Structure 1
Amino acid sequence: MNPTFPPQPVVARESEPTEDNIRALVYAFYDRVQADPMLGPVFEQKLAGRWDEHLPKMCTFWSSIALGQKGYRGNVQQAHQPLLGIEPQHFSRWLYLFLDTVESRYAPAAAVRFMEPALRIAQSLQLSKFGWDYTIPEEQQALLEQLAPRRRKDGDTPDAPPARDEPFPTKIIGRSTKD
């Protein structure tokens, strides 16, 4: 995905998310974040000595997203507002690491259940941080394009070609369904 870091080794890819494999995903991903020269210092500045508190919260968050559980009670926007020194490249780096980790652990249909929300959340955080006239970076738009063919609409059969229109339930700013 991104030539500046080694891809995550592929493990047995899961066909469906479960609490156990979500926990494994979260811990593997944050091991990569902590080791990453760009992201590691940013996260360490905020979470030094609190990783044992943060990681279970992230497991609950991603279980809420991927499994539809309602255990997460935080506010994503509010939690990320006090982070200083965050620039667009941090979002792109986080996305590449996260999507690569997800892709190495889940079959495509299951991976999209993490990838779509991650891209939406990143976009929302960027627009909130950098302003509504902010242009989502090209590499993130490319990630959206990569995901679009993977998403199927309800009622599609496994043999049906994937939907090619807007991959998200809500409009992505700066991208129309006619583009």
Structure 2
Amino acid sequence: MQLHAEESTGFPPTNPPVTFVMIERLVLDFCARTQKDPVLAPVLSKAIGRDWDSLIRRIRRFWAAEFLEDSRGQDDPVPMHASMKELRPAHLDRGLELFRQSAFRVCDRQSAFAFVTWAERITEQFKYTIFQQAGLTAPSELRTAVQGVRP
């Protein structure tokens, strides 16, 4: 069963107890799952080679900027994802599912919902970007989903 953040009681979470240690654990768990995933690992390996450490640092910086207001060296994730020519919406959905699993495995419930909510929004933005780059019109529900969404 796929649990979306909006389905929780008390949503949206206010001031989730996110720490740098939690972000570190989440990113490491997510990247470990991704490296073993038969669908995502080949696409990412083609894009980053064997440099998983750099990818882990980038993802960690991104989440620290989002939740801890630590923007030191933050990378915008959209260009990196957009540069992966083989990346398709189904890959993003799979990545979101792995991220969701990691969040609920390593975080308290409130923080997991906060991470997943933001990851769901980012995933929709990435999908929209993929459609734009392909010169296609994104489905209307996707266009609506990304209105006013960072990044």
Query: Shared topology, TM-score over 0.5?
Result: yes
Q: Which has the bigger relative contact order, CA under 8 A and spacing at least 6?
A: 2
Kept in 2, the 8 Å contact 1:65–1:114? The answer is no
Structure 1: 5+ residue runs without aligned partners? 3-14, 142-170, 175-179
Give CA deviations for 1:146-178 in whole Å, capped at 9, x if unaligned: xxxxxxxxxxxxxxxxxxxxxxxxx7359xxxx
Decide whether aligned partners of structure 1 residues 68 and 112 sit closer, same or farther in structure 2, where only a CA change above 3 A counts.
farther
- Structure-1 residue corresponding to 2:139: 135
Alpha-carbon separation, structure 1, partners of 2:81 and 2:146: 20
Decide whether aligned partners of structure 1 residues 45 and 21 sit closer, same or farther in structure 2, where only a CA change above 3 A counts.
same
Alpha-carbon separation, structure 1, partners of 2:73 and 2:113: 20
**Cα offset for 1:95?**
0.6
Structure ID, larger Rg? 1
1:79 aligns with 2:111: no
Kept in 2, the 8 Å contact 1:38–1:90? The answer is yes
1:17 aligns with 2:18: yes
Q: Percent identity?
A: 24
What secondary structure, in the 3-state scheme, does the structure 2 residue paired with 1:26 have?
helix
- Structure-2 residue corresponding to 1:124: 125
Number of paired residues?
130
More helix per residue: 1 or 2? 2
- Structure-2 residue corresponding to 1:156: none
Give CA deviations for 1:51-106 in whole Å, capped at 9, x if unaligned: 12221121111111122222243222222221011112101100111011101222
- For 1:135, give the aligned amino acid: P
Give CA deviations for 1:94-146 in whole Å, capped at 9, x if unaligned: 01110111012222221122112111111111111113742389xxx9xxxxx
**Cα offset for 1:50?**
1.3
- Structure-1 residue corresponding to 2:56: 55
- For 1:34, give the aligned amino acid: Q
- For 1:134, give the aligned amino acid: A
Kept in 1, the 8 Å contact 2:27–2:60? The answer is yes
Give CA deviations for 1:10-64 in whole Å, capped at 9, x if unaligned: xxxxx72211121111011101001000001011111222112221121111111
Alpha-carbon separation, structure 1, partners of 2:111 and 2:81: 26
Alpha-carbon separation, structure 2, partners of 1:136 and 1:38: 27
1:91 aligns with 2:102: no
Q: What's the RMSD between the two structures over aligned residues? A: 2.4
